[in-house]
Amino acid sequence: MVDFLIALMALGFLAIVTARMPPMRPAEILHGAVRVTDGDTLELDGLRIRLQGIDAPELAQACNNDDVAYPCGLQARAALAQLVDGRPVSCESYGHDRYGRTLARCMAGTTELNRAMVKNGWALAYGDYDVQEAQARKARRGLWRGDFTPPEEWRRAHDRLDAAPHQPLSAFWDWLRDLGRLWIGNT
């Protein structure tokens, strides 16, 4: 029984460490004009790209500022559209999420969109960008200027399909799947 508990703890530790590891290398580079669909999703030639490491409010989500509701989901989308500003976007793809969307870190000019959305307070850090989230919270930028329900909780409360929590174990299995794809692709 002790051996089983030690093995379970070791696997848990490995899952947490793996979830915090930086991506191995981009699977592919995507480039072109994009359409901003929400605060953490772009569309490039019909391909849905989910900005990795962040979670923005859903389009229908409302937040509060001084007890006044405002459409924070729409404002998050507008903030991302302003960062893109009609420029071509380059994305480094690091695999896919459980819904088939490409997970990527994207740049518009010299601006890393993922980082900027968290830094400006319009998205939460989701395993990355913790420093930028702390800065946005302290400066009360974006969502942090009032009260809001974290997007993951809001999706769960509203029975959204993508309400599955992003957990370290989930990231570990995604990493293993991507590692297997790389290994199979190289044989």
Q: Which sequence positions are flagged as catalytic? A: 50, 58, 101
For the chain, the DSSP string reads -HHHHHHHHHHHHHHHHHHHSPPSS-SEEEEE--EEEETTEEEETTEEEEETTEEPPPTT--EEETTEEE-HHHHHHHHHHHHHTT--EEEEEEEE-TTSPEEEEEEETTEEHHHHHHHTTSSEESSS-HHHHHHHHHHT-GGGGSB---HHHHHHHTT-TT-----HHHHHHHHHHHHHHHHHHT-
Q: Looking up tokens 């302290």, which residue turns up? A: 138
- Quote the tokens at residue 39: 């605060």
